[in-house]
Amino acid sequence: MIRVGDVLVSKGEGGVYGERELDGYRVWDPYRSKLAALYLVGTGIELPPDMKVLYLGAANGTTVSHVADYVEVVYAVEFAPRPMQDLLEVARRRKNVMPILADASCPEQYAPLVETVDLLYQDVAQPDQAAIALKNCVFLKQGGCLILMLKTRSVDIRKEPAEVFRDTLDILMSAGLTIVESTWLAPYHQDHAAIVCTK
Amino acid sequence: MQSCWFGDINAGKCTPFTGDTAAYARRVREFRASMDDFIPLDWQQAVACGICRDRAEYLALLQKVCIAGSEQAVREQYAAKDVELLQMVRTLDEMDTVTNVLSERVADWYQIRHPSFSRKYRRTPAHVLVKSISERNRERGGGGGALGKVAAEIMCLADARTALAKEVSARACEVMPNTSALIGGLVAARLLSHAGGLKKLSRLPASGIQVLGARTALFAHIRTHAPAPKHGIIFQHRRVHNAPRDVRGKVARVLAGKLAIAARLDFYRGCAVQSFLDDAQVRIDRAGTTNGEGKGQ
């Protein structure tokens, strides 16, 4: 990952969401992007230039734009039309972003478009986040990596975040994935955890 | 046979799909692949297919298809009848909040300008005061200073609000005829806004519709076992808030039950069903009059 001093950055066309620029690089704000937060509180994984990424829950394309700066291609799946308008604008300015308006819990909707990927990144506000990730593992190559940004409050508002975290880890492990890293994203994001595992 | 966006692959042989970008996008959106034993597509088959020559060309073409497909889907979703109504009713509620806050502020300001003025014993709500300030401003030919101008703006906003409310009501009667017939266009539209759309509203249970808009009370109930809320937005309907206190919960329950059916009729049929409406009106009215006895039917 590229850093200028302690600041995480990426190299690409700026002005996507009013991000700062530093020595010609785009500053990757950990308060706005959970992936950036993961690189600061934990280790995360390297994003090599030949990487293919399936990104579930692409939203407005903030994090997508940074990921796209590093990798070869990002398949960006987003369900809601409003943020899709922004994501489309990001896609029009970047050659390697493939915007797909579809439901991440129905991979058959985008199966005809997506190839085998090296990284499955998921950031969706749904109660069955682990199940959605597992469904989408068909796109992940053997030995590929899954990064699950767990929104514990979306799983069950009545449960303790720590309990949701433990349960999710159990589900992923019992599905045969190997947990490489799991960490809370505090202080950048409250009640959000990042789980990195390999297939 | 495996189908992907650029063609169909049958026993290693590829039949390319031909058409313009929009046609490709439509093809992808009509697909429903089976996810059993699913193997993701291999981009090199697109080269074999003769769709493209190399990786860069493949990605450029795929991006065009993806963008076209997503644009089509966004346009279609926005064309649904309830989407604009949602924005209209949310704007309306926001305007209410804004005019109320501004009116109170202007009334406070006015009292500073007139030290001997008091609203006590006059029963002058802020908006009436704002109206008189704005009228005085007009009589003086706009000489009321900033206070007069702000008051006049609030009156303008109030006019826009009235016009918008009429439009919301009319649109609601068109989009959700059954629900609107039961509780009026405005309240129906507010239910729609809280549920997040007609599809979502039609899939809510009656108990959910009953407490829609009473989120704080509902979570207080779930967390601390405080009494359950009897009604949310549907309280705004006269048959609920005019009902005697002891049957109000019952009226709300019966009304919500009928609303759940009405919302489904609106979503799946989209036209008013008179026989249902007649029965429902009678049933709801009876819930408001029977006092304790004659529970259920």
Residue B94 lies in a domain: yes
Number of H helices, E strands in chain A: 6, 11
Residue keyed to tokens 């505090």: A186
Q: Does the pLDDT value for residue B139 go beyond 90? A: no
- CATH number, domain of B196, equals 1.10.246.90
Calpha distance B129→A88 (Å, rounded)? 49
> Chain B partners of A89 at a C-beta cutoff of 8 Å?
none
pLDDT > 70 in chain A, percent:
100
3-class state of residue A60 by DSSP: coil
Question: For residues B218 and B224, what is the distance between their CA atoms, to the nearest angstrom?
Answer: 10
**Does B3 touch chain A if contact means CB atoms closer than 8 Å?**
yes
Query: What own/partner pairs with CB < 8 Å and gap ≥ 24 does B89-92 have?
Result: B89/B168, B89/B172, B89/B186, B89/B189, B89/B190, B89/B192, B89/B193, B90/B193, B91/B164, B92/B161, B92/B164, B92/B165, B92/B168
Domain ranges within chain A, ordered by starting residue: 30-198
Do B274 and B236 have their domain in common?
yes
The answer to whether the Cβ–Cβ distance between A88 and B71 falls below 8 Å is yes
Domain end (from B141, B170, B199) = B170
Q: Which residue range is the domain that position B88 belongs to?
A: 81-170
ipTM score: 0.93
Give B144's pLDDT tier (boundaries 50, 70, 90). low
Last residue in a domain, options B124, B140, B170 = B170
- pLDDT at position B291: 56
> pTM for this one?
0.81
Q: Taking a contact as any Cβ pair under 8 Å apart, which residues of chain A between 12 and 51 contact chain B?
A: none
Q: What average pLDDT does this structure show over A27-56? A: 94
**B266 and B191 co-located in one domain:** yes
For residues B142 and B74, membership in a common domain is answered with: no
Interface of A with B in 121-160 (CB under 8 A): 135, 138-139, 158
Q: Are B74 and B85 in a shared domain? A: no
Q: Do B100 and B148 share a domain, yes or no?
A: yes
Is B54 in CB contact (< 8 Å) with chain A? no
Q: Which pair of structure tokens corresponds to residue B102?
A: 């501004």
d(CA B240, CA B290): 14
| Residue B40: how many other CB atoms lie within 10 Å | 20
* Whether A179 contacts A170, CB under 8 Å: no
Do B55 and B89 have their domain in common? no
Same domain, yes or no, for B200 and B163? Answer: no
Q: Which residues in chain B touch residue A96, judged by CB atoms under 8 angstroms apart? A: 59, 63
Does B224 map to a domain?
yes
CB contacts under 8 A, A 97-116 vs B, are 97-101, 107-109, 111-116
Mean pLDDT of B222-231: 88
**pLDDT band with cut points at 50, 70 and 90 for residue A142:** very high
Kindly report, residue by residue over B47-68, the tens digit of the pLDDT.
Answer: 888 888 999 999 999 999 999 9
B121 and B163 inside one domain:
yes
The last residue of a domain, from among B122, B153, B170: B170
C-beta separation of A77 from B56 below 8 A: no
pLDDT of residue B294: 46
Is B296 domain-assigned? no
Residue B3: strand pairing partners: B8
Are B216 and B278 found together in one domain? yes
Q: Is B109 on the interface with A (CB under 8 A)?
A: no
Predicted confidence at residue B290, as pLDDT, reads: 62
Q: Which CATH architecture has domain A30-198?
A: 3-Layer(aba) Sandwich (3.40)
Q: Is residue B101 part of a domain?
A: yes
Residue B297 lies in a domain: no
Beta-strand pair A52-56/A21-22: unpaired
Quick one: pLDDT band at residue A140, thresholds 50, 70, 90? very high
